[in-house]
Amino acid sequence: MSAVITAPIGVARPKPAGFLRRLFRDKPLGAAGGVIFMLFLFCGIFADVLAPFGMNEISPINRLKPPSWQFPFGTDNLGRDMLSRCLYGAQLSVIIGITAASLATFVSVAIGIATGYLGGKVDLIMQRFVDAWMSFPDLIILIVVVSVVGPGMPQIICTLGLLLGIGGSRIIRSAVVSVRENMYVHAAQSIGATTPRILLKHILPNILPPIIVLFTTRVGAVILAESGLSFLGLGVPPPAPTWGGLLSGGGRTYMFQGPWLALAPGLCLTIVVYATNVFGDALRDLLDPRLRGSR
Amino acid sequence: MQAYIARRLLALLPTLLFASIIVFVTVRLIPGDIIDMMLSQNDVSAGKMDREALVAALGLDKPIWSQYLTWVGRIIFHGDLGNSLWQTTPVTEQLAARLPVTFELGLLAVLIGLTIALPIGVYSAIRQDTAGDYISRSFSILMLAIPSFWLGTMVLVIPSIFWGWSPEVSYIPFFEDPIGNIKQMLLPAVVLGTALSAITMRMTRTMMLEVLRQDYIRTAMAKGLPERLVVVRHALRNALIPVVTLIGLQAPIIIGGTVILEQIFGIPGMGLLLLDAVNQRDYPIITGVFLVVGVAVMLINLVVDLSYGLLDPRVRVRS
């Protein structure tokens, strides 16, 4: 009898080692995505060491050189090494991706817990607000906000964090709503635990799986959104080599003479977003079976 | 059905209210130095408009709630979104010229997306776990990752290098030359449509798999109907209902996508209007586009919801 009572009712917490084994055995594609993602983080963090040339190192004799051993990704119209620029681009993407995704996740969790656990009028009003917010295309909100606050890295990070955070609050809210009705939450309420304690000790640990999944998929979404914005010339201002920025502006004029200028940044972007997507999907399948099939 | 429509319309009101507040507050964030920048950038100091006049034109000299009420009142009672700051033409006039272009591009993209997604999604479902299924699923995940601005760029760069082909530079209006117009729109629509097809394909496959396991499919198969007929008439029809909703949910993605593709291909739709307005800091136009896009997405979702009720009688009875 006592065994029944003490058995955990919530989601079993996965152990890291066993979890990794399951990831590689059951989800080889997702594991590959995870490895690529780690590689991308590594490249971003150590870009200064890895890059053979400086971020904006100009070399007039090496203008528009096709890919070679010296310049694996070719050079641009000012003789800048595309490999180095793509590596520094990865650095910017890592910084923006991780910070904005963290902010977005934090906002989602804050709104999701407040509306999902407290419910009532706050929830009702907040849900209509989220409805309205989500009927604006992400890109349009970003463009409008940037038109007001001006382009720049801190602005982009805050805007993206807030933007994706509000959208993602739905996922957290639904997780909170399903956890809220568990026996252990009622038990905590009945022995008089305070609301902050219940939220931190009982709700939060049990919605960790969707939070991790949300964070992973947000990294990809942030990188994609930032590059789109930089492509339109509204992201991190040049000469910072963001992947989106490399595909627009000056580079664009010379793409017809040097198609490798269009190839490298686009491929980097596609591979990283692809990797985050499959990694996120695999994590979701393993950690949070409830969300399977939804996006 | 009338009650269902009325309920849906009523539910739209609070969302519209919030949307108008979001639009208003976001653009109200304009810091003071931006006004100086507007003044210097566009050289209106030449007697035409001074600082106070500009602040008054933007309505920034009154308390915020009164500004909001005036703004909403003008939209509701006069359909007036203000005038463009630099061209002094009504914003609504500009929007009316650009909206159909974006709508055409978006519609073409949806049609192309469905043409790609439905057959592949159905094939993927009826041949589940075969090589073909794996290939089409991998393709769809890959298409989700390729940014449309990169695909759009490659579509411009590659033909130009290999065949010396490049698209028309100036825009051809539909009513002057319908065929030329469609030809011009086709390439950006294909790029956007491919991106849309990825998620639609996944949804079609999932729904088909679910429907194919139903008893009435087994019955239809058991009574000896040809597979083609069962798939198209019994399964696809039922699987399509959630796919219709998905198109509504994708409306923001479609409109966001048209902004980028309009920029790449030089098509004068809402997206290009917005980007030009951002460069010129023409806030009445920015506000106008922002609001119209939000309302358009809501209306698309309303139409989708209503058609959902029309397609599936259970929906209108239950809710």
User: Hey, is the C-beta of A242 within 8 angstroms of any chain B C-beta?
Assistant: no
Domains and CATH numbers, chain A: 18-56+74-292 (1.10.3720.10)
Put simply, the answer to whether B255 touches A135 (Cβ < 8 Å) is no
Question: What pLDDT, in 10s, does the model give residues A139-165?
Answer: 888 888 888 887 888 888 998 999 899
Q: Around B235, how many Cα atoms within 13 Å sit in the side-chain half-sphere? A: 31
Q: 257-286 in A: which are within 8 Å (CB) of B? A: 259, 262, 265-266, 269-271, 273-274, 277-278, 281
Helix (H) or strand (E) holding A234: none
Per-residue confidence (pLDDT) for residue A101, from 0 to 100: 93
Q: How far apart are CA A32 and CA A25, in angstroms?
A: 11
User: A-contacting residues of B 52-111, CB under 8 Å?
Assistant: none
Q: Is the pLDDT of residue A10 over 50?
A: no
> A32 CB near a chain B CB, below 8 Å?
no
Whether pLDDT at A40 is above 90: no
Q: Is the CB of A266 less than 8 angstroms away from the CB of B153?
A: yes
Touching check for A149 and chain B: CB below 8 Å?
Answer: yes
Task: Indicate the residue of A132, A136, A148 with minimum beta-carbon distance to B29.
Answer: A148
A positions 154-213 inside 8 Å of B (CB): none
Q: Which two tokens stand for residue B69?
A: 């009420």
Mean pLDDT of all residues in B205-221: 86
Say yes or no to pLDDT of B132 above 60. Answer: yes
Residue B44: is its pLDDT beyond 60? no
With a cut of 60, say whether residue A4 has pLDDT above it. no
Q: How far, in Å, CA of B20 to CA of A10, rounded?
A: 41
| Mean pLDDT of the B200-209 span | 86
pLDDT at B100 over 80: yes
A174 within 8 A of A197, measured Cβ to Cβ: no
Confidence (pLDDT) at A290: 55
pTM > 0.95: no
pLDDT level of residue A14 (50, 70, 90 thresholds): low
Rounded Cα distance, B174 and B195, in Å: 25
Give per-residue pLDDT as tens, B18-32: 888 888 888 776 665
Mean pLDDT computed over A188-205: 88
Question: Is the pLDDT assigned to residue A252 strictly greater than 80?
Answer: no
- Which carries the bigger pLDDT value, residue B7 or residue A252? B7
Most confident option among A89-98, A285-294, B229-238: A89-98
Angle B271-B276-B280 from CA coordinates, rounded to 5°: 145
Does residue B310 carry a pLDDT above 60?
Answer: yes
Q: How many CA atoms lie within 13 A of B250 on its CB side?
A: 25
CA distance A98 to A222: 9
The size of the A-B interface in CB pairs under 8 A is 143
Lowest-pLDDT range, A141-150, B71-80, B207-216?
B71-80
- Dist CA A109 CA A103 (whole Å): 10
Token pair recorded at residue A235: 């992201």
Name every chain B residue with its beta carbon within 8 A of the beta carbon of A269.
Answer: 147, 150
C-alpha Rg value of chain A to the nearest Å = 22
Percent of residues, chain B, with pLDDT higher than 90: 4
B45 vs B62 pLDDT, higher one: B62
Looking at chain A, how many residues does it have?
295
- Assess A138–B contact: CB distance below 8 Å, yes or no: yes
Mean pLDDT over each residue of chain B, to the nearest integer: 81
Kindly tell me if the per-residue pLDDT of B112 is higher than 90: yes
Which residue of chain A comes nearest to B166, CA vs CA? A256
B164 Cβ under 8 Å from any chain A Cβ: no
Average pLDDT of the segment spanning A26-39: 83
d(CA B296, CA B286): 15
CA atoms within 13 A of residue A229's CA, in its CB half-sphere:
32
Higher pLDDT residue, A137 or A63?
A137
Predicted confidence (pLDDT) at residue B66 exceeds the cutoff of 60: yes
What is the tens place of the pLDDT at every residue in B253-275?
888 888 889 888 888 888 889 88
Q: Which of A148, A254, A255, A261 to mutate to test the interface with B (most CBs of B within 10 A)?
A: A148
Kindly determine whether residue B286 and residue A147, on different chains, have CB atoms separated by under 8 Å.
yes
**8-state DSSP, B231:** I
d(CA B120, CA B128): 12
Q: Which residues contact A132 (CB under 8 A, 6 or more apart)?
A: B15, B16, B17, B18, B19, B21, B22, B294
CA distances from A148 to A140, A234, B283, B287, B295 (A): 13, 11, 9, 11, 21
Q: Please indicate if any CB of chain B lies within 8 Å of the CB of A252.
A: yes
